[in-house]
Amino acid sequence: MSQNNIIESLTGKTTNKHKSRIPAKLDFLQSATGLILALFIVFHLIFESSILLGKESMYALTMMFEGEFFIEGGSPIFISVLAMVIFTIFIAHAFLAMRKFPSSYKEYMRYRTHAKLMNHEDTNLWFIQISSGFMLFFLGSIHLYTMMTQPQNIGPFASSDRIYSDLMWPMYLMLLVSVILHAAVGIYRLIVKWGWFDGKDAKANRIRNKKIIKLAVIFYLAIGIFSLLTYMKIGYDHQDNYGERYHLPNKVEHAN
């Protein structure tokens, strides 16, 4: 280990008496990985709610993600690779976020009491983000691992069988609420932290941004819950044929 590192670890300053730039770099990386994941979720929940338009729409989107436009019949390997990339970013983001968790009961109590005394909305938002982030460690990993290892089991019937017959719906319900709250608070905090959209009147714009984000939360919760109910209904009707794949009407050559 270099002497510089030993000195920095003891004094908190580098040998030329500067504070290390590493915490700022880690903060930037945390924001960047969070932004990528939030953008992914914004599109993912929309695509995935295609089931609301019918089984054929969800099937068509699944085939698109399987790369049907450049490989005849598509291949689930594309979904597996995408899940692997997202999982890697997810793990990096969780690793960076661990620095922000209270590390002892004493620290947690100090924070909670302070937050309650201040009753400041943005401070309370931080608590929502930490709790939902903790849930995502587990729930996000279950889902991403499934998508990575069983990409062939995605489709109107395969997904509904998983959600209803394999009893994954409670997991999805918790994942849905946690990820929407986490992404919403995360995006709001990013906007405040980096001063995006502050414009001439930062305070008024911040209030406006908060309103837009609250509406987005309601929208995403609504489409997420209705999609989940739709998958459950399809899974319930399909339980006696568990495992059978969806076929496009008049087309039997590819099944999902």
Nearest approach, Cβ of residue 192 and ligand HEM (Å):
23
When binding is defined by CB under 6 A, the residue of 132, 159, 164, 234 that contacts ligand HEM is: 159
CA 67/CA 71 separation, integer angstroms:
6
Among positions 29, 144, 216, 248, the unique one binding ligand HEM when judged by CB under 6 A: 144
DSSP helix, strand, coil percent of the chain (3-state; round to 5): 75, 0, 25
From 209, 182, 181, 183, select the one nearest 195 (Cα to Cα).
209
Q: Taking CB under 6 A as the rule, which mask of x and - marks residues 197-226 in contact with ligand HEM?
A: ---------------------------x--
| Minimum CB–partner distance for residue 204 and ligand HEM (Å) | 32
How many residues in the shown chain lie near ligand HEM by CB under 6 A? 24
Which range, of 18-26, 115-123, 154-162, 214-222, touches ligand HEM by CB under 6 A? 154-162
Residue 27-46 contact track with ligand HEM, rule CB under 6 A, x = bound: --------------x--x--
The alpha carbon dihedral of 28, 34, 39, 40 has a sign of positive
- 84: which 2 tokens? 């692997």
Q: Say if residues 45 and 224 touch (Cβ distance below 8 Å).
A: yes
Number of residues that make up the chain = 256
Residue 86 CB, nearest approach to ligand HEM (Å): 4
Q: Residues 83, 150: contact at Cβ < 8 Å?
A: no
Among the residue ranges 108-116, 136-144, 197-205, 243-251, the one whose residues contact ligand HEM (CB under 6 A): 136-144
Q: What is the rounded CA–CA span in Å between residue 74 and residue 254?
A: 9
Please pick, from the candidates 33, 34, 48, 185, the single residue that binds ligand HEM as defined by CB under 6 A: 48
**Segment near ligand HEM (CB under 6 A), from 24-32, 113-121, 142-150, 193-201?**
142-150
Of the candidate residues 162, 164, 188, 234, the single one contacting ligand HEM (CB under 6 A)? 162
Q: Is 82 in the site for ligand HEM (CB under 6 A)?
A: yes
Q: Tokens standing for 234? A: 């399809």
- Examine residue 76 and tell whether it contacts ligand HEM (CB under 6 A): no
Torsion of CA 154, 138, 91, 74, to 10 degrees: 0
| CA proximity to 130, closest of 101, 107, 154, 158 | 101
Choice from 55, 76, 79, 185 touching ligand HEM (CB under 6 A): 79
CA distance 71 to 83: 19
